[in-house]
A and B are shown apart, each in its own frame.
Chain A
């Protein structure tokens, strides 16, 4: 019988195997479209700016490039791209193997099942951060003039950090959902576009049971003030936790979700449908 690999070595091997699978899967086309949209938008904004027209005005005041970038981080990346990628990739890490009936191949290796999940989760982290963060970087340098780079660079670093934290937290939550439930994608979408949206608008402490609440408090840019009812309500009930608390909670969400997911996968018996 083959010698069993240590959990770390096993996770590293699964990471090595899964990274390519994730990157070259059909989901990558979806991810490219989602992440490419802000890049295309930034190119359009740049062209409009170059022609001497203000691309965005609020109450007759033209919004500068750094604020436009902040708005893209808020509206596109934080509210949409990061949660959606978390749902689509996180829920598929185990569910796809079950659906394709290939999970047996992994579970029959001399590895702990938890190491398989950990390796897949790390591959998800690498795959999404290697697409999302460079995209943010391209959008930044497309939008922000060189003269404003020095002033706005610390905010960019914060943005990159919080997006990485968001990818990690959402990914861990939906990895747990994927390992635990039978229809994880539906549950994930309901969580992101139903529960989180609803809870963030509610007064009281319901919002504390969302990931978005802790991510939003870390954003270095001002919240975009449009006239929509949701933005208005959110600004009325604006109450943000401190940055250290948010970081601690996000770390806890990630570790607890991942730990629970590993525990679920160790104990659950996956029945492959014939």
Chain B
């Protein structure tokens, strides 16, 4: 390369204005800086125009069972039953109250499915207008089922079996429907709700994953083994909540709770209000309650850890409250319960005179 020297004075080499002046390391520096900017801006633009959650790489779309739930569901809940059953919290609760699983026993008596041993995870949903007379939610249980034994048991009690949309649907007294839509997935609920779930999956569209309001909240449940989302306005439009109570409730549109149950409980409750003013009011109310709880915690130091873990957050129309119940507090609660005097057998017999005694 021919080097021309401009001017008359012979300066040091860096002041020679001919040829390429930028060194390789300067070029690398510029390239590195520009690369960070380009990658960052590119990621942000993809997130803005495509939506990172839609890529399905960086954010999940909830459990696959959601494909069975119609898009107009007003409440959806999920629990990793296996993790919760094996958790330290449940073991402690079982020690404290051995009959705590009576609800699961009733479910087993009705459906033949043992939640403790057969089910790995559970998804529940409420579809249509909520009605206390028709309170059975749609349950989707993923696990290991002896389908032949369960079907035989229900048929023995008077249940019937029909084919519906290529699935075997077992119905009992027109109040319970059960279908093993996949070898390891059982749908349990009102027969009409089970049929609709089968149709939703078969159609491959109009399921809850297309409901952006629900999915926006679901995608934010990072690492929890249990969560629930409810469209409060839809729930309140039904007959579930008495009118007097409705008037006292804050104008919340969406309610969500997510948490992790292991040796302790870590949970976040989140509410979305109609406007920022309502959110600010709700925040003020919760702040007052938290303050009161902190005052009370002075008299009950054993609960101070829970109270101190209360974390009020959220911006705009969102209000959130996080809390942690550490293992030590569960032990303390257990000890407190154990100290409570149990009614004597004689006193029980006086209150509940058994026939024949």
A residues apposed to B, CB below 8 Å: 1-2, 5, 13-14, 16-17, 19-21, 23-24, 52, 54, 57, 59-64, 66-67, 102, 104-106, 108-111, 126, 130-131, 133-134, 137-138, 140-141, 146-147, 149-150, 153-154, 156-157
Contacts and interface: CB of A to CB of B under 8 A. Distances in A.
A137 to B, nearest CB: 4
B313 A64 contact: yes
A1 B21 CA distance: 22
Given A2-B8, A110-B6, 13 more contacts: A17-B15, A24-B26, A54-B311, A61-B314, A62-B312, A109-B7, A130-B29, A138-B36, A141-B40, A146-B58, A153-B45, A153-B48, A154-B48
B209 interface: no
Given A109-B6, A109-B7, A141-B43, A61 B283 contact: yes
Contacts of A62: 311-313, 322
B288 to A, nearest CB: 11
A130 B324 contact: no
B220 A147 contact: yes
B301 interface: no
B36 A134 contact: yes
Contacts of A64: 313-315
A102 B6 contact: no
Contact of B313 (A16, A61, A150, A154): A61
A8 B59 CA distance: 49
Contacts of A131: 33
Nearest to B36: A134
A13 B29 CA distance: 18
Interface in B13-53: 14-15, 17, 20-23, 25-26, 29-30, 32-34, 36-37, 40-41, 43-45, 47-48, 51-53
Contacts of B324: 52
Contacts of B315: 64, 66-67
Contact of A61 (B22, B26, B47, B312): B312
Contacts of A63: 313
B12 interface: yes
B290 interface: yes
B58 A23 contact: no
Contacts of A23: 26, 29
Nearest to A133: B37
B201 interface: no
Contacts of A138: 36, 40
Contacts of B353: none
B30 A130 contact: yes
Interface string B303-338: 000000001111100000010100000000000000
B136 interface: no
B36 A137 contact: yes
Nearest to B5: A2
Contacts of B20: 16
B196 interface: no
A147 B59 contact: yes
B317 to A, nearest CB: 13
Interface residues of B, number: 47
B313 A54 contact: yes
B313 to A, nearest CB: 4
B37 to A, nearest CB: 6
Nearest to A16: B21
Given A130-B33, A146-B52, A60 B6 contact: no
Contacts of B37: 133-134, 137
Interface in B267-323: 283, 287, 290, 311-315, 322
Contacts of B56: none
Interface in B100-132: none
Given A20-B26, A23-B29, A61-B283, A105 B9 contact: yes
A105 B12 contact: yes
Given A52-B324, A146-B52, A20 B12 contact: no
Given A52-B324, A105-B11, A109-B17, A19 B266 contact: no
11 contacts: A14-B17, A16-B21, A19-B22, A57-B311, A102-B11, A108-B11, A110-B7, A131-B33, A137-B41, A149-B44, A150-B48
Rank and list the top 5 A-B pairs by shortest CB-CB distance, nearest first.
Answer: A130-B33, A137-B40, A134-B36, A62-B313, A149-B47
A256 to B, nearest CB: 28
A147 B219 contact: yes
Contacts of A61: 283, 287, 312-314
A102 B10 CA distance: 12
Interface in B59-103: 59
Of A21, A62, A104, most buried by chain B (CB within 10 Å of CB) is A62
Nearest to A64: B315
Given A2-B6, A24-B26, A109-B6, A13 B47 contact: no
Contacts of B311: 54, 57, 62
Given A130-B34, A146-B52, A17 B6 contact: no
Nearest to B50: A150
B33 A102 contact: no
A149 B6 contact: no
A162 to B, nearest CB: 15
Given A17-B15, A19-B22, A150 B51 contact: yes
A59 B32 CA distance: 41
B21 A150 contact: no
